[in-house]
Amino acid sequence: MVDKRVFSKVLVANRGEIAVRIMRSAQELGLKVVAIYEETDKDAFHIMRADEAVCIGSGPRKDYLNIDKIILAAQQTGAQAIHPGYGFLAENPDFPEACTNAGLVFIGPPPEVIRNLGSKVIARKIAQATGVRVIPATEMLAPGAPGEEAALAFAAAHGFPIMIKAVSGGGGRGIRQVGDRDSLLTGLKRSRSEALMSFGDDNIYLEKCVNRPRHVEVQILADSYGNVVHLGTRNCSIQRRHQKLIEIAPAGLDPALTGEICDAAVRVARAAEYLSAGTVEFLVEHDGTYYFLEVNTRLQVEHTVTEVLTGIDIVREQLLIAMGEPISFSQAQVHERGFAIELRINAEDPKNDFLASPGLVEVYRSSAGHGVRLDGTIYQGYRITPYYDSLIVKLTVYGFTWREAVDRMARALNGFLIIGVKTTIPYFQQIVKEPDFIRMNLDTAYIDDHPQLMGYREQEREVEKLARLIAEINAHEKNPYTQ
């Protein structure tokens, strides 16, 4: 019998747009929400959206990672449940364990599932056991000379290029592609160091490189009653240094292949005894051959495209599943119609190697209109600090056809006016006009194949001139606009 765990107040153990996103669904269910913040983040937008807020430390970043302080904040405010969002502690199995020990509901998978799937080596074994194809790879490599010998033997058997990967974590960290013996040996040391710094775990392994694949992921939901459903596919192939820039739903695959991959994702989730929302990721070659990649045991940044396409509120389902409720729909009720595109507008300078661009947001005018969704956290007069993620707003658009979605994204990008910080908008404005993108001819080599996308200097100068003029007109405006 499933234990019902009804709660009335949720603490959101995160910041930024994802904290606001979670709060909205929780409040729609009639739940009270508690925000946490560091002193260096005291002007953040998510604090304003919560029913109450607790400062958990001086920051920066360290207190958002402090499990004891977060649990204490929940206890002090009477919150009975904690949602981790993404990033920070979301994939740390010690966090749900500590929540359970404190008598709190963790809105996400149980610790043993996060622990197993957080290890890419264990996750691969789970996938293999279900009959899902995996990319040829090593076990965890021993440090020092034994690991180097095993790496060289793998290279001799499978050839270059090879991917070096961290066993733990994600987000593109600890990953590098190497093309010869010397870069392999150097890369082993660098990846270990990067993995230790990012995840506290320096274990690495090798994987045969799949050239120019499409990066496809499947959104899944699983409840305590044995129900596992998928919400279709997403194409996340447009990446820079293994970090996703643009996400698209559906992935644009042949219908039969889509069905096969979605079925594989459900099998993996069942085998892992999954609970809550998660994402099963694959690499798909152009001939349709696909390989299991990993499972992300959390809400994804790009969940918005799936929500727009299916009409299903993934966060609401997470909350209900955590209360012991079944998924509120069946697989037969999941329908995808049209296309959705999401991109991340960051306070970064694309011309300066995408370096973060903190500073005062002097003017902020966001886009709007039919088929446009904004998930953001900045407002006019907000000072972006250098301490946190540079994401300003996630822009998601819907179109009945792919071309309509592309045209709507171009229009929506042109509708923004942000002064005071550099943003990635001019870079994306070039992508949505690029012929291969318009044809949906996309794989993981897209950014490398299109270096001309950086060529928007003249256009940017004209936009900046207009922006400065508007800034002068609005200099004395007292009521900042927020979405």
pLDDT tens, residue by residue, 293-318: 999 999 999 999 999 999 999 999 99
**What is the Cα–Cα distance from 263 to 278, expressed in whole angstroms?**
15
Domains in the chain with CATH codes: 9-107 (3.40.50.20), 136-208 (3.30.1490.20), 214-469 (3.30.470.20)
Give the residues of the chain that fall short of pLDDT 50. 458-459, 478-483
Q: What pLDDT, on a 0 to 100 scale, did the predictor assign at position 104? A: 98
- In the residue annotation, 298 being an active-site residue is answered as yes
Which entry of 49, 124, 298, 408 is annotated as an active-site residue?
298
Q: What is the pTM of this model?
A: 0.90
Q: What's the confidence (pLDDT) of residue 171?
A: 63
- Residue 467's pLDDT is 61
Tell me whether the omega of the peptide bond preceding residue 143 falls within 30 degrees of 0, making it cis.
Answer: no
Residue-level pLDDT at 172: 67
The whole-number pLDDT of residue 482 equals 42
